């Protein structure tokens, strides 16, 4: 069920359309209908994706989006595993994925807010595009802002998940204790990037499914825009 932001999306597009040529058809649709359909499709896709990834093992248990260790840490894990000391690195990988799962409720709200930035003309161009046109548009236009907004909750989740404690332990093992703070920052940036990759991966799949499968068009506006 959609929250107040979804209702705001509809109001935004209705009001915005009045500034253009009203009821001008686009493939049998008004601009208002096309825009509302794209808005709802993206909202449905973003909500489904963040709900899916926000569960326990949403990231860690899914090989499509599981977040690996950053390359430097992976190299250390291989070296320490040879002497039976790879445990902290395994714990670190699990912790990063748990942190990403914890950020998904906030990520969902951020995505719905970002969809408000779509214009009527953007929506028309998206409708003419390929199976993941809306997803690609959303990532291109909002990627840097989403990164900025998701970083604080990710940092908090990493700390809560014990990731920073493990990084401090590892920094001691690899004789980089003085660089522990920098290592924390590197892992935070990496976790945000990979978490967003995972969300956009599933938003793209959800969008493609809505375009291709009539059964995924669960509202009247989606059926009018995409058929079925």
The DSSP call for residue 143 is H
Assigned token pair, 82: 């040879």
**Alpha-carbon span 3 to 11, nearest angstrom:** 13
The 10s digit of each residue's pLDDT in 55-101 is: 999 999 999 999 999 999 999 999 999 999 899 999 999 999 999 99
Identify the sign of the CA torsion 152, 153, 157, 160: positive
More confident of the two residues 189 and 7: 189
The 10s digit of each residue's pLDDT in 135-153 is: 888 888 788 888 999 999 9
Q: What pLDDT does residue 158 have?
A: 96
Assigned token pair, 202: 């599933």
Q: Where are the domains of the chain?
A: 4-213
Across the range 221-225, mean pLDDT stands at 69
pTM: 0.81
Across the range 13-24, mean pLDDT stands at 36
Helix (H) or strand (E) holding 3: none
Distances (CA, A) of 88 to 82, 158, 181: 13, 15, 17
Q: What pLDDT does residue 140 have?
A: 85
């Amino acid at each position: 069920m959609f929250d107040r932001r979804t209702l705001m999306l509809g109001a935004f597009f209705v009001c915005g359309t009045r500034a253009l040529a009203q009821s001008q058809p686009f493939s049998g649709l008004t601009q208002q209908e096309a825009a509302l359909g794209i808005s709802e499709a993206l909202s449905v896709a973003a909500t489904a994706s963040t709900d899916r990834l926000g569960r326990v093992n949403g990231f860690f248990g899914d090989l499509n989006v599981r977040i690996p260790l950053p390359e430097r840490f992976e190299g250390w894990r291989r070296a320490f595993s040879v002497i039976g000391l790879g445990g902290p690195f395994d714990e670190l990988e699990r912790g990063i994925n748990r942190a990403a799962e914890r950020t998904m409720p906030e990520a969902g709200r951020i995505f719905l807010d970002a969809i408000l930035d779509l214009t009527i003309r953007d929506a028309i161009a998206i409708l003419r595009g390929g199976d993941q046109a809306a997803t690609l548009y959303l990532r291109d236009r909002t990627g840097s802002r989403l990164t900025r907004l998701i970083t604080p909750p990710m940092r908090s989740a990493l700390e809560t998940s014990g990731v920073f404690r493990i990084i401090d332990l590892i920094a001691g093992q690899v004789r980089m204790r003085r660089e522990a703070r920098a290592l924390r920052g590197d892992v935070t940036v990496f976790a945000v990037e990979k978490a967003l990759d995972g969300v956009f991966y599933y938003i793209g799949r959800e969008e493609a499914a809505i375009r291709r499968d009539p059964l995924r068009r669960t509202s009247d506006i989606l059926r009018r825009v995409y058929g079925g």
